[in-house]
Amino acid sequence: MVRSMRPFTWRTTVGQDVPASFSVCLKIKDIHIRLTYLGDKTSSSMETWLTSLITKTPQEGFELAIKLSRMGVKYTQPSAEVRDKLRPAYAENADSLTMASHVVAVNFQTVAAANGYWR
């Protein structure tokens, strides 16, 4: 079950309201990334796909860790067009691929712990 968040307002240090939907632009080296938070729109439009972290085997657990990682990207950047546009910038970058592998490894640690390390 996905629990949707109630609308919220952030306040800036100068007391201005920040809307519940907003974008943040990041520049890392020569890569520009726009992260967009759409409030309840993203969570309600996404299907429920994660029903359990329990898997039968470590292999299935690793595949779930990859799925968790990919879905994290999809939730962070809902636009498939933007994701496709950014892919060439990191697809052949060793540092980016190492960081992606690290995210998968962290997710695999979570899944392994949830499964009692398949003992």
2 is a domain residue:
no
* 4 belongs to a structural domain: no
For position 49, what pLDDT does the model report? 87
58 domain-assigned: yes
> Are 75 and 42 in contact, with CB atoms under 8 Å apart?
yes
Residue 91 lies in a domain: yes
Q: Is residue 95 part of a domain?
A: yes
| Whole-number Å distance between alpha carbons of 89 and 116 | 38
Angle at 29 between CA 28 and CA 33, to 5 degrees: 35
- Residues 86-119 pLDDT 10s: 999 889 999 999 999 999 999 999 999 999 999 9
pLDDT band at 4 (very low <50, low <70, confident <90, very high): very low
Length reported for the chain? 119
| Residue 19 pLDDT > 80 | no
pLDDT tens-digit readout, 33-88: 666 555 555 444 567 889 999 999 999 999 999 999 999 999 899 999 999 999 99
46, two tokens: 């996404």
Q: In the chain, how many domains are there?
A: 1
Q: Which pLDDT does position 2 carry in this prediction?
A: 43
Instruction: Retrieve residue 52's tokens.
Output: 């359990």
**Which residue range(s) make up the domain with 36?**
10-118
